[in-house]
Chains A and B, each alone.
Chain A
C-alpha cells in the first residue's frame, strides 16, 4: 500500500515514545552509566572507562556461558523449526478437530515460565516424576541434578515441549493462506508430495517461518526462568546460560560494573543477530507485496 507522507503522524507515536523512553531508555542509561564506573560501596563511584569491557572480553566465565548459549539456541532452532513444520503439515485443516488441536497446542504457551520449570522438575524426578520413574525402571541412568548430559536433555526437551507449538501455529497460519487452486494445479501436474512441499508450501510459509525463527532465536537466547527452576544452572555450571549468569552477577553478587558491561554486550549480540533476521524478513515482505 502506498503511504502518504505526513510528519504529523509523530503525534500519534508520541505516547509510545514517552512510555518506552521511561521504561527502556532511562534504565538502559543506568546500565551504561554503571558499565564505565567502579564503586566501593557508599554510593561512591569512580570512572573506570572500558576496564570492565576488557576484563569481560577475556573472561572465561563469559566465554563458556556464551558458548553454551549459542549451542543451546542452535539445538533449539534445529529441533523446533522442522518439528513445528512437520506438525503443522499434519494438523487437521478445519472443523472441530482443528479447533481442539489449536487450543490444546496453545496450552503450554500460556503457562507461567516458572510453572513450566516446576512441571518438568517434577516430571523428571526419579522418585515422583512419570518420566524419571519410567526411565529409571527401564534401566536408563537419568538424574538431571547430577548428570550434566541429563540436565541438558531435560532443558532441551522442556523447551521443545514449551515452544514447538508456536512454530507449528505460525507454519499452520502460513499453510492456511495457500489457495486451493495451487494444490489443484499441482495435482494436475502430478507433483509428488515432496515437490508440493518444496515448491508450494515452503515458499508460502517463508514469511511466517522467519517470524518463528526470529521469535524462537530471541527468546531462547534470553531464556532464564525455566532452566533456573529445573537445574538452577547446574550441575556445576553446565546449564548456566547468559541470563542466569547475568542475574547471578547483578542481583546475587551485586557486581554492578561487570554486570552492566555484560548486559550491554549481551544486548548488542541479540540486536545484531535480530537485525539480520529483521532485514531478511522485511525484504521478503516487500517481495511478496509487489
Chain B
C-alpha cells in the first residue's frame, strides 16, 4: 500500500522540478543563444538555436578594454568589499553571539535597518559624500558604499553560525592560556569556516548584482560591467549580440562561486539559523 502510494508522488516531484528548472533556464538559454548569433540573424530569422555559430560577440568584449575592464573593475570592488565586510563583521558577530551589553539588541536591529535602506535613498548623498572626500570614481568608494548592506548581512549570518558553537570551547581555550586574538584566529575561525564561506558568498553576491550605487559612484576609471552594458544599450543602437554576450559573461563568476559553496548554500540562505 505504502509503496503504491509513494511511487506516483516521486514522479510528480520530478515533473514539478523539471518544469521549474526549465522555467528558470529558458530565459538564460535564450540569452546564450542570442550571444552566439550575428546581429543579422537575430533580427532577420527566428531560430531556436544559432544557425551560423559565431564567437565574434565574445571576441568583441574580450579584446576591447572598455568592455573587459568593466569585469575587472567589478571584480576588484566586489573582492574589496567582501574582505572589508568580513574583517569588521567577524569581531562584531562574536560580541553579539557571546556577550550581552548595554544596548546590544537595539544596536543589532539598527545594523539590520541598514540592510533595509533602499539604495535609491542613498544614491545622491553617497555621490556627494564620496565626491567631497575625493573618492569619486574609485574602487574603494563602491566597496565602502556596498558595506552599507553587506556588513549588517555578514554580521547577521556570522552571528547565526557562531551561536551554534558551544561556549565551553571559548572557556577551555582561555583556561589553557590562549589570548583572545590567538584563540579567535587559531581555534574559533576554523570552527566557523563554513559560516565565513557563506557570509563571503553573500557579500560577493549582493555586491556583484548591485547596479544603482556602483553606477552612481563611478564614471570612467572604476566603471562596473553592469554600467558598461547600460551605456551600450542607449548609445550604439542596440548591438543585441554583444549585449547578450556581455550578459552571459556576467553569469560566469556567480556560477563559479555557487559551485564552490553548493553544500552550504541551503543553510547559508537560512542565515545559519536552521
Contact = CB atoms under 8 A, between A and B. Distances in A.
Given A27-B129, A250-B123, A114 B211 contact: yes
A166 B273 contact: no
A211 to B, nearest CB: 6
B134 interface: no
B91 A87 contact: no
B269 A166 contact: yes
Interface string B193-230: 00000000000010011111000100000000110011
A173 B151 contact: no
B212 A224 contact: yes
B88 A3 contact: no
Contact of A224 (B120, B163, B266): B120
A251 B124 contact: yes
Contacts of B28: 107-108, 111, 119
Contacts of B13: 89-92
Contacts of B190: none
Interface in B103-139: 104, 107, 109, 111-126, 128-129
Question: Is the contact region of chain A dominated by helix, strand, or loop, or is it mixed?
Answer: helix
B16 A90 contact: yes
A128 B209 contact: no
B251 A107 contact: yes
A4 interface: yes
B92 interface: yes
Interface residues of A, number: 95
B240 A122 contact: yes
A24 B257 CA distance: 29
Contacts of A169: 265-266, 269
B36 interface: no
A218 B30 contact: no
Given A23-B144, A170-B270, A173-B267, A112 B94 contact: no
B258 interface: yes
Nearest to A275: B109
Given A120-B27, A122-B30, A112 B163 contact: no
Contacts of B120: 222, 224, 242-244, 246-247, 250, 263, 266
Contacts of A15: 87-88, 91-92
Contact of B43 (A113, A127, A225): A127
Contacts, number: 280
Interface stretch (B18-26, B52-60, B61-69): B18-26
Contacts of A102: 262, 265-266
A225 B211 contact: yes
A90 B116 contact: no
A149 interface: no
Contacts of A6: 98-101
Contacts of B23: 161
A237 interface: no
A222 B270 CA distance: 21
Q: How many interface residues does chain B have, given as a range? A: 35 or more
A264 to B, nearest CB: 8
Contacts of B114: 20, 24
B243 A118 contact: yes
A222 B46 contact: no
A128 B117 contact: no
Contacts of B76: none
B42 interface: yes
A1 to B, nearest CB: 6
B127 to A, nearest CB: 8
A75 B27 CA distance: 22
Contact of A251 (B84, B155, B216, B263): B216
A138 interface: no
A111 B254 contact: yes
Contacts of B262: 99, 102-103
B250 A112 contact: yes
A230 to B, nearest CB: 12
Interface in A33-54: none
Contacts of B42: 128
Contacts of A274: 112-113, 116
12 contacts: A3-B98, A27-B126, A90-B13, A112-B208, A112-B211, A161-B27, A173-B269, A173-B270, A174-B270, A208-B270, A256-B124, A270-B117
User: Nearest 7 pairs between A and B by C-beta?
Assistant: A110-B254, A27-B125, A12-B95, A9-B99, A243-B120, A173-B270, A9-B95
Interface of A: 1, 3-10, 12-13, 15-16, 19-20, 22-24, 26-28, 30-31, 86-87, 89-92, 99, 101-115, 118-120, 122-123, 127-131, 133, 161, 165-166, 169-170, 172-174, 176-177, 187, 193, 207-208, 211, 218, 221-222, 224-225, 229, 242-244, 246-247, 250-251, 256, 259, 263, 266-267, 270-271, 274-275, 278, 285
Interface of B: 2, 9, 12-13, 16-17, 20-21, 23-28, 30-31, 34, 42-43, 46, 48, 84, 87-89, 91-92, 94-96, 98-102, 104, 107, 109, 111-126, 128-129, 144-145, 147-148, 151-152, 155, 163, 167, 205, 208-212, 216, 225-226, 229-230, 233, 240, 243-244, 247, 250-251, 253-255, 257-259, 262-263, 265-267, 269-271, 273-274
